[in-house]
Amino acid sequence: MAIELDKDWPGLTVKGDDAAWDPTEIKRITGELEEALKALRTPTQPPARSVAYAAGSTPPPLPGPPPGAGSLPDVRLQCAIGTAQLGEWITAASFAQTVETAYMTFIGDTEKSGGNYSSLLQQCDEVIDALVDIAKTNAGAEQANLEPGTRRDV
């Protein structure tokens, strides 16, 4: 079975059976991934939960989440509830247990291990590291091919 390279893959040029990596494009893609990952790790300002208004007037709507909300710290802050916040009656306790199970699956118990969101961030780090290694390896191979005595003209 032969591996087929996607002709539209950013940073990869395919000509017939030959493929070439573009280190500049790989570094650009890596930078974009790092920026996206930074947004997932950077907490936003928590939204207001109440507003002050004059007696007898219509209260203004509560502001929504700030732009970019949804980082791992934001989700931890908003979703970490338990029986202390909901009460001890059976329905509240069951709901709190369901939320806690979902929280542990999605978020996990620490920043370094646990849930799916944390795993996603860790895997993004590994992809970025792999892309950097690809660019370095490619640049080293290209340089080695240009040194006297290592190039073979066919």
pLDDT at 149 over 70: no
- Distances in Å between the alpha carbon of 125 and those of 32, 41, 128? 12, 12, 5
pLDDT at 51 over 80: no
Average pLDDT, the chain: 75
Q: What pLDDT does residue 81 have? A: 61
Label residue 83 by pLDDT band (50, 70, 90). low
Average pLDDT over residues 28-49: 82
Q: What pLDDT does residue 97 have? A: 79
pLDDT at 28 over 80: yes
CA–CA gap between residue 60 and residue 141 (Å, rounded): 63
Q: What pLDDT does residue 48 have? A: 65
Give the phi and the psi of residue 87 in degrees, each rounded to 5: 110, 170
pLDDT at 154 over 50: no
User: Biggest alpha carbon distance in the chain?
Assistant: 89
Higher pLDDT, 58 or 109: 58
Q: Percent of the chain at pLDDT above 90?
A: 1
